[in-house]
Chain A
Amino acid sequence: MVKLSINGLLVEVQEGTTILEAARQLNFRIPVLCHHDDLCVAGNCRVCVVEQLGGKALLAACATPVAEGMQILTNSLKVRTARKHVIELLLSEHNADCTKCYKNGQCELQNLSNEFSVGDHIFLDLIHHKDYTIDRYSPSIQKDDSKCIRCQRCVRTCEQLQGVNALCVAHKGEAQKISTFYDHSMAEVICTNCGQCINRCPTGALVERTYLDEVWDAILDPEVHVVAQTAPAVRVGLGEDLGLEPGERVTGKMVSALKRLGFDAVLDTDFTADLTILEEGTELLTRLKKALVEKDPEVALPMTTSCSPGWIKFIEHTFPEYLPNVSTCKSPQQMFGALAKTYYANDREIDPKKIVTVSIMPCTAKKYEADRPEMRSSGFKDVDYVITTRELARMVRQAGIDFTMLKEDKFDRLMGDSSGAAVIFGATGGVMEAALRTAYEIITGREVPFENLNITPVRGFEGVRQASVLLEDCVEEWSFLEGVELKCAVAHGLSYARELMQAVKDGKIEVHFIEVMACPGGCLGGGGQPIPTNQEIREKRAAAIYDEDMHLAIRKSHENPEVLKLYKNFLGEPLGHKSHELLHTHYKERERY
Chain B
Amino acid sequence: MKKIPVHRVDLIFEKITCKEIFEKVMEAKPDEIIQSVIDSGLKGRGGAGFPTGLKWQFAAREKNDEKYIVCNADEGEPGTFKDREILDMVPEKVFCGMAIASRAIGAKIGYIYLRGEYKFLVPKLEERLKDFHGLMKKMGHPFTIHLRLGSGAYICGEESALFESIEGRRGEPRNKPPYPTKEGLFNKPTCINNVETLVYTVMIQKYGAMHFKEMGTKDSRGSKVFSVSGDTPKAGIFELELGMSVKEFVEEFGDGDTKAVQVGGAAGFCVPRKRFDETIIGFEGVPTGGSMKLFNSSRSMYNVLHNYLDFFAEESCGQCTPCRVGCQQLLKGIEAVKKGEKSIKYLDELVKLAATMKIAAKCGLGQSVGNAFSSIVDNFKEEIIY
Contacts and interface: CB of A to CB of B under 8 A. Distances in A.
A150 B329 contact: no
B117 interface: no
Q: Which 3 A-B pairs have the closest CB atoms?
A: A176-B318, A89-B325, A63-B175
B325 A126 contact: yes
8 contacts: A46-B361, A57-B360, A93-B328, A124-B332, A152-B319, A174-B314, A176-B316, A176-B317
Nearest to B311: A173
Interface string A163-184: 0000011011111100000000
Nearest to B320: A44
Contacts of A85: 322, 326, 352-353, 356, 360
| Residue among B153, B155, B312, B360 with the highest chain A CB neighbour number at 10 A | B360
B359 A173 contact: no
B162 interface: no
Interface in B279-334: 312-322, 324-329, 332-333
B194 interface: no
Contacts of A46: 320-322, 360-362
B320 A45 contact: yes
Given A90-B321, A124-B329, A126-B329, A43 B153 contact: no
A172 B316 contact: yes
A108 to B, nearest CB: 14
A82 B329 contact: no
B349 interface: yes
B320 A174 contact: no
Which interface class (under 10, 10 to 19, 20 to 34, 35 or more) fits A? 35 or more
Contacts of B352: 81, 85
A414 interface: no
A257 interface: no
Interface string B12-35: 000000000000000000000000
A351 to B, nearest CB: 56
A64 B332 CA distance: 32
B367 interface: yes
A244 to B, nearest CB: 35
B175 A43 contact: yes
Nearest to A93: B325
Given A60-B175, A65-B177, A122-B349, A173 B329 contact: no
A86 interface: yes
A361 B191 CA distance: 52
B170 interface: yes
A337 B202 CA distance: 76
Residue in A57, A89, A92 with the greatest tally of chain B CB atoms within 10 Å: A89
B321 A45 contact: yes
B321 A173 contact: no
B336 interface: yes
> By CB atoms of chain B within 10 A, which of A56, A150, A152, A172 has the most?
A172
Contacts of B313: 173-174
Contacts of B332: 124, 126
Interface on chain A toward B: helix, strand, loop, or mixed SS? loop
B349 A150 contact: no
A150 B367 CA distance: 19
Interface string A375-394: 00000000000000000000
Given A90-B321, A174-B313, A174-B324, 10 more contacts: A42-B319, A46-B321, A57-B367, A89-B321, A150-B324, A172-B314, A173-B312, A173-B317, A173-B318, A174-B318
A150 B328 contact: no
A6 to B, nearest CB: 19
Contacts of B349: 122-123
B316 A64 contact: no
Contacts of B358: 57
A92 B342 CA distance: 16
Nearest to A57: B359
Interface of A: 41-47, 49, 56-58, 60, 63-65, 78, 81-82, 85-86, 89-90, 92-93, 122-124, 126, 149-150, 152, 168-169, 171-176
B360 A49 contact: yes
A126 B313 CA distance: 13
Nearest to A49: B360
Contacts of A149: 321
A172 B155 contact: yes
Nearest to B331: A174
Given A57-B367, A64-B175, A81-B352, A171 B318 contact: yes
A89 B326 contact: yes
Contact of A124 (B177, B336, B367): B336
Interface in B332-356: 332-333, 336, 342, 349, 352-353, 356
B317 A82 contact: no
Contact of B170 (A43, A60, A169): A169
Contact of A172 (B153, B353, B359): B153
A81 to B, nearest CB: 6
A210 to B, nearest CB: 29
A64 B174 CA distance: 12
Interface string B164-206: 0000001010010100000000000000000000000000000
Contacts of A175: 314, 318
A466 to B, nearest CB: 30
Contact of B175 (A41, A122, A173): A41
Contacts of B322: 46, 82, 85-86, 89
Contacts of A168: 170
B320 A176 contact: no
Nearest to A126: B328
B193 to A, nearest CB: 23
B328 A172 contact: no
Contacts of B336: 124
With most chain B CB atoms within 10 A of its CB, the pick from A41, A86, A149, A173 is A173
A85 B333 CA distance: 15
A122 B350 CA distance: 10
B319 A176 contact: yes
